[in-house]
Chain A
Amino acid sequence: QKEVEQNSGPLSVPEGAIASLNCTYSDRGSQSFFWYRQYSGKSPELIMSIYSNGDKEDGRFTAQLNKASQYVSLLIRDSQPSDSATYLCAASTEGTGGFKTIFGAGTRLFVKA
């Protein structure tokens, strides 16, 4: 069973701090990795995607990928109360019928003002 594992949290950080969210995946064939943000009662929205080892930065967000360790992380700098949400990690692998995306159960983040 291919899996994406995340700590469910809640992860609590003070406003202005760095929030670090982690994710591991079991399928070594996974090729694309995504972080989605989901506010309570809302649907997920894509915030970062990463395809190669290393770091990818977009504003206050940095995604990190280490394929050897099968590890993906998301760093949120200068955390704001509006960042409080559940963050879903996802990994995509090519299979029969095309690419298939497996989602983690999500990490709940609380940013305290």
Chain B
Amino acid sequence: DVKVTQSSRYLVKRTGEKVFLECVQDMDHENMFWYRQDPGLGLRLIYFSYDVKMKEKGDIPEGYSVSREKKERFSLILESASTNQTSMYLCASSPSDTPSSYNEQFFGPGTRLTVL
């Protein structure tokens, strides 16, 4: 089974802090994604990466950056956390050997971040 893990299930930070969210997958997937999920808004894509050291902006990249130094690890960075970044953050990965399987994403357990 594909396993996607995230560094923390719950995190509480203060406004202005730099926050690192880590995601690791063990299935050698090329593609990795960071989403945030808010009630009534569904999943919104922040950033994604289709290869090591590659990154693409999603729909809501402002206030975030990412790092992918190794294939299995994709990090989300909040440079200066703000209260409107309080949310559930979900990491996902997918293979890219066929166009259809590219999109079958496997999710990690999520990190619920609260910024005070």
Contacts and interface: CB of A to CB of B under 8 A. Distances in A.
- B contact residues, range: 20 to 34
B100 A51 contact: yes
A46 B96 CA distance: 16
A88 B43 contact: yes
A: interface residue count bin:
20 to 34
Contacts of B50: 97-98
A101 B58 CA distance: 10
Interface residues of A: mostly helix, strand, loop or mixed? Answer: strand
A43 B110 contact: yes
A88 B41 CA distance: 11
Given A97-B50, A105-B42, A34 B104 contact: yes
Nearest to B51: A98
Contacts of A43: 90, 107-110
Interface in A43-100: 43-46, 49, 51, 88, 90, 92, 94, 96-100
Contacts of A34: 103-104
B31 interface: yes
Given A43-B109, A99-B102, A103-B42, 16 more contacts: A8-B40, A32-B99, A32-B103, A34-B103, A46-B104, A46-B106, A51-B100, A92-B103, A98-B31, A98-B50, A98-B96, A101-B45, A103-B43, A104-B42, A105-B40, A105-B42
